[in-house]
Amino acid sequence: YMIPKIETRFIVRGTYKGGVIYNTDDDEKEYFTVVDLSLIKNWDNGLSLGGHIYNLFDETYYEGKGMACDGFNFKVVVQYDF
């Protein structure tokens, strides 16, 4: 008996930003690292199933002045291509 090969895409994405000042009232600099994971399985019949995890370590950070980013969140994906 052979175990069938599972063809999937596994993606790890990391973002690091450092030394950015978001508040001009005080000169505190922010440093943060955000890690995202994705796992997608594609079948030959056009069906895809997968999921994404964003901000795996629930890092609190700001993309811009006063623009807070989401904490840990996830998305489940089901897609069919004709």
Q: pLDDT tens across 4-54, in order?
A: 666 788 888 888 877 665 555 655 667 788 899 999 998 888 899 999 999
Residue 19 DSSP label: E
Measured distance CA(12)–CA(3) in Å, rounded: 26
- Say if CB 56 and CB 39 are below 8 A apart: no
Identify which has the larger pLDDT, 45 or 76. Answer: 76
What phi, psi does 9 have (nearest 5°)?
-115, 125
d(CA 13, CA 54): 9
User: Who wins on pLDDT, 68 or 59?
Assistant: 59
Tell me how far apart the alpha carbons of residues 9 and 18 are, in angstroms, rounded to a whole number.
30
